Amino acid sequence: MTLPSVKSIFYIGVSLVGLLFAQSALASVPEPWQMGLQAPAGSIAEKANSLHNLLLIIITAISLFVLALLVYVSIRFRAKANPVPSKTSHNTIIEILWTVVPVLILVVIAVPSFRLLYYLDQTKDTEMVVKVTGNQWYWNYEYPDEQIGFDSYMIDEEDISGDQIRLLSVDNEMIVPAGTRIKLLVAGNDVMHSFFVPSLAVQIYSVAGRINEAWIDVPEEPKVYYGQCNQICGVNHAYMPIVIRSLPRDEYDAWVENAREEFAL
């Protein structure tokens, strides 16, 4: 069987599992008993997802191979079947093989891995900027070009209403236009935090005194993306979620107009 067909069978399997655990089309949010990663959104997340799928095939094959070898030697060379053990200490061919083959496997992994790293490292062709600042224990979002800035706090459990999600919904969401490439400038105000939105495959540290740069590709379809702080930052670390809501351009423009008054810098 050739590799592509193994791969396609694997992807069909993954898609079937995906269907079983289908997520809400309107939000990227962790699901109870979720299998695998959240559905990827945007070009970075799609590339990260396919790298993950490739690695899954490779590590599964390696694990099964090692298991098969262990089972084989445990049976073939057990004391009963092999009372006089071999005193072999060297075997040049095997030593070359177990050096060269892992090197080749690492090269196969390194190529797409570096390609992805360089892809997400270059913040170019972005259409707008949002500055994100981590605080104990909330996020602050600033839109420098629009002169908007506001804090974003988690909604307490007792105040949850409607379709809000416990531990994930916030009072002021980061609103962005759908189908836009956005530059994130991530800074910190106190201890280290980490801005992490799994479905967009963005995770970047928020550190006081420096600005880290990242970018996200927000897909065309309006959606809500949920994330959380991903760096232990104190007693309320678990209570500073991230919500990015993408809106159609006209709704976004209306929001900006309103926010210019409500959240003027």
Q: Which residues bind Cu ion (CB under 5 A)?
A: 193, 229, 233, 237
Q: Which is nearer to Cu ion, 54 or 192 (CB)?
A: 192
User: Apex CA 155: angle with CA 149 and CA 161, to 5°?
Assistant: 120
Q: If we measure between CA atoms, which residue out of 47, 25, 41 comes closest to residue 216?
A: 41
* Helix, strand, coil percent values for the chain (each to nearest 5): 40, 25, 35
End-to-end alpha-carbon separation of the chain, Å? Answer: 62
Q: Which is nearer to Cu ion, 139 or 143 (CB)?
A: 139
Shortest distance, position 182 Cβ to Cu ion, whole Å: 22
Q: Which is nearer to Cu ion, 193 or 245 (CB)?
A: 193
Assess contact for 213 and 185: CB atoms under 8 A. yes
Shortest distance, position 212 Cβ to Cu ion, whole Å: 15
Q: Which is nearer to Cu ion, 50 or 136 (CB)?
A: 136
Q: Which is nearer to Cu ion, 237 or 260 (CB)?
A: 237
Shortest distance, position 195 Cβ to Cu ion, whole Å: 10
Shortest distance, position 229 Cβ to Cu ion, whole Å: 3
Shortest distance, position 154 Cβ to Cu ion, whole Å: 12
Place of tokens 């008993």: 33
Assess contact for 190 and 199: CB atoms under 8 A. no
Cα gap 245→174, rounded to integer Å:
6
